[in-house]
Amino acid sequence: MIISMKLHANKAEIEEVCERVRELGYKIHAIEGEERCVIGVVGVGDVTNCLESLEAMPQVEKAVRISAPYKFVSREFRETKTVIRIDTPRGPLEIGGDEFVMMAGPCSVESEKQILDTAEAVAKGGARVLRGGAYKPRTSPYDFQGMEEEGLKLLAKARELTGLAIITEVMSDRDVELVGDYADILQIGARNMQNFALLKTLGKSKRPILLKRGLSSTIKELLMSAEYIVAHGNPNVMLCERGIRTFETVTRNTCDIVAIPVLHEMTHLPVILDPSHATGKRSLVPALTRAGVAIGADGVILEVHPCPNKAVSDGAQSLDIAQYNAMMKDLQPYLQLWKASRVENAVMA
């Protein structure tokens, strides 16, 4: 931490700050500016509170954190990328490695026929993971809330028939165990990114986690939430950019695509893009998926439905099967460039 004193602070005022720093368990290295004293502080502890507490002192101009507030998820902690390994009926799947991972499926599990048809189609088109919600976070209490455990059972059936791994959302710490019994990956929705009770429970799960960025969460807050899960025992976390909330309303959210290379610089965890929620509009999904591949995402998670116009949720942003297949075909040369670049990086490292 660096503490900058107000202009012309006197000795007693400076000493009072230093004393407070020591009380909080940190050590001092001081420097005298010409007009303005600056104090360097080192040590470990509840830095957030320490900064707030020091800034609250009237003689302090500014207190700034220098080192990152997270540890386990940082690139400084581990330089090589985390590769998450999942056993599927079709063999092992690696996320964060040399394969671009396609996760696809409907927003909600609606019926046996709907989920099995979709699973079969997306598997054929190159997906390795099937998405589908059994517990649905809906803004309105009057909207469809999901098939719950019955939906989980249908996902398990789809897994068995197609060999796809299953990703599905868990909304409450109460459900972590149950959902973990059926799913290969637990998805945490944007609105639960800072549900700290849930994050702690996820730390005790044996399942990998896909953690979506909150609607108005900074990249650092996303990393702090991942740190919660890792610090509580579960190192298998992947992050997901799904668009943030801004003043722009033409799209459902604003995709912060640059968050992907930024996260690669800051953390070793895999980064997934959700082009469906990021845009909210089917016609924009293929172009954004291409951009996600080009910018270096480790995978995408997107919505596919056999009949989007009849979907109980998110129909407007779901591709139908034909659109999904066309997109996958169009994507192939970009995926080859992606793969070549991964291999090249591996050779250089």
- For residues 75-114, which are near a second copy according to CB under 8 A? 76
Classified as helix, coil or strand, 62 is strand
Q: How far apart are CA 179 and CA 156, in angstroms?
A: 11
Options 15, 150, 181, 246; binder of a second copy; rule CB under 8 A: 246
Least separation in angstroms between CB 72 and a second copy: 10
Q: How far apart are CA 202 and CA 230, in angstroms?
A: 9
Report if residue 62 touches a second copy, rule: CB under 8 A.
Answer: yes
Report if residue 244 touches a second copy, rule: CB under 8 A.
Answer: yes
Comparing CA positions, the residue from 154, 108, 102 lying closest to residue 298 is: 102
Options 94-102, 126-134, 160-168, 310-318: segment touching a second copy (CB under 8 A) = 310-318
Q: Per DSSP, what are the bridge partners of residue 60? A: 5
- For residues 128-147, which are near a second copy according to CB under 8 A? 137-144
Least separation in angstroms between CB 164 and a second copy: 25
Least separation in angstroms between CB 211 and a second copy: 14
Report if residue 232 touches a second copy, rule: CB under 8 A.
Answer: yes
Cβ proximity to a second copy: between 163 and 315 the closer is: 315
Least separation in angstroms between CB 235 and a second copy: 14
Q: How far apart are CA 176 and CA 168, in angstroms?
A: 11
Q: Per DSSP, what are the bridge partners of residue 301? A: 103
Comparing CA positions, the residue from 153, 137, 101 lying closest to residue 122 is: 101
Report if residue 343 touches a second copy, rule: CB under 8 A.
Answer: no
Options 82-90, 118-126, 160-168, 240-248: segment touching a second copy (CB under 8 A) = 240-248
Q: What are 136's two structure tokens? A: 């649905």
- Give 145: exposed, middle or buried? Use CB within 10 Å, 0-12, 13-18, 19+: middle
